[in-house]
Amino acid sequence: MSEILVVGSLAYDSIKTPSGSAPRALGGSANYFSLAASLFSKVRVVGVVGDDYSSTDRELLQKRGVDLSGMIVQPGKTFHWEGAYEGDMNEAITLKTELNVFETFDPVLPAHYKDSKFVFLANISPDLQGKVLDQCEKPLLVGMDTMNFWISSKLDDLKKTLKRVDIALINEGEAMMLTGAGNAIEAAPRVCELGPKALVIKRGEYGFVLYTKDEGFFILPAFPITKVIDPTGAGDTFAGAFFGYLASLGRAPTTADLKQACVRGTVVASFTIQDFSVKALADVTPAKVEDRYKSYRQVVHLA
């Protein structure tokens, strides 16, 4: 098993969905990622929080064995995102983004993080993603996420980061926006032309598309969930379980490994959406993942 370094946001989210609302609940890509990845591997977090960040929220990760020595506390408030889902549960409407302490975030890796073999650059500014990568010594696998905001505002920096990663995990709309393609299938090889050897396109309730330069497409649906309470963090959960699974193997992944990692991603993400914030995800255990993994195999099994 190898250790995973993740850099991303540690946040409070205020979320409204057709099922209700959760004001100032724990969120942020690094939190979802770490909770999911730590089901499989050791995780090291780089991020910043304000002095309002609660010790309970910190302990949630610590109980999963997550190393928080790279989590900096700064005077001020923690990053706050306010969003809503209406009708289309696959897309959040952003109502407010308060960067707060995140605005001046300048990631510095603790010395013992630098040998991390698995590195995930969650959705933050692409130049900060680059800065983190500069401090990593010899990673075996580097992955990244991004969002529409960076595609439109920092495309050049984003392309520089894309050249330096092995695998990108982005959502369908982002893949189309980044390449000008009309659908995920057309977009996938074009994203890989920008650098990554492999790409995962996250499709929300429709699952994922894995594309590798060597073996082409691997596509499967999401685990069927009757009642989606709050889709926030599903993509970060996917990435966390995906990386956690790969790091647990401790080797440079084969395409077969990437396929299995995608399935872990969609399986663990299916828990996240069953409650607000990280509530359901925090209760997941490796045994629950294994059970749902078996059910998932039945759902997609073509004799």
- Contacts with a second copy by CB under 8 A lie at 18, 89, 182-186, 203, 205-207, 209, 216-221, 224-228, 256, 259-260, 263, 297, 299-303
Closer to a second copy by CB, 55 or 226: give it: 226
CB of 254 to a second copy, least distance (A): 10
Q: Of 173, 169, 176, whose CA–CA distance to 201 is shortest?
A: 169
Rounded Cα distance between 9 and 4, Å, is: 16
CB of 201 to a second copy, least distance (A): 11
Rounded Cα distance between 145 and 124, Å, is: 8
Closer to a second copy by CB, 63 or 297: give it: 297
Closer to a second copy by CB, 138 or 227: give it: 227
CB of 295 to a second copy, least distance (A): 9
State phi, psi for 115 to the nearest 5 degrees.
-90, 10
Closer to a second copy by CB, 119 or 220: give it: 220
Structure tokens at 11: 């946040």
Closer to a second copy by CB, 140 or 293: give it: 293
Contacts of 254-261 with CB under 8 Å at 24 or more apart are 255/198, 255/212, 255/214, 255/215, 255/218, 258/167, 258/198, 258/200, 258/210, 258/212, 258/218, 259/210, 259/218
CB of 275 to a second copy, least distance (A): 16
Structure tokens at 185: 């299938």
Rounded Cα distance between 86 and 218, Å, is: 30
Closer to a second copy by CB, 96 or 301: give it: 301
Q: E strands within the chain?
A: 3-7, 11-17, 20-27, 42-50, 67-74, 79-84, 93-98, 118-121, 141-144, 167-171, 198-202, 208-212, 216-220
Closer to a second copy by CB, 65 or 224: give it: 224
CB of 25 to a second copy, least distance (A): 21
Start-to-end CA distance of the chain, whole Å, equals 33
DSSP-assigned beta bridge partners for residue 144: 121, 168
CB of 224 to a second copy, least distance (A): 4
**CB-CB contact of 210 with 184 (8 Å):** no
CB of 249 to a second copy, least distance (A): 14
CB of 200 to a second copy, least distance (A): 14
Closer to a second copy by CB, 108 or 299: give it: 299
Question: Residue 101 carries which DSSP code?
Answer: G
Question: Residue 100 carries which DSSP code?
Answer: G
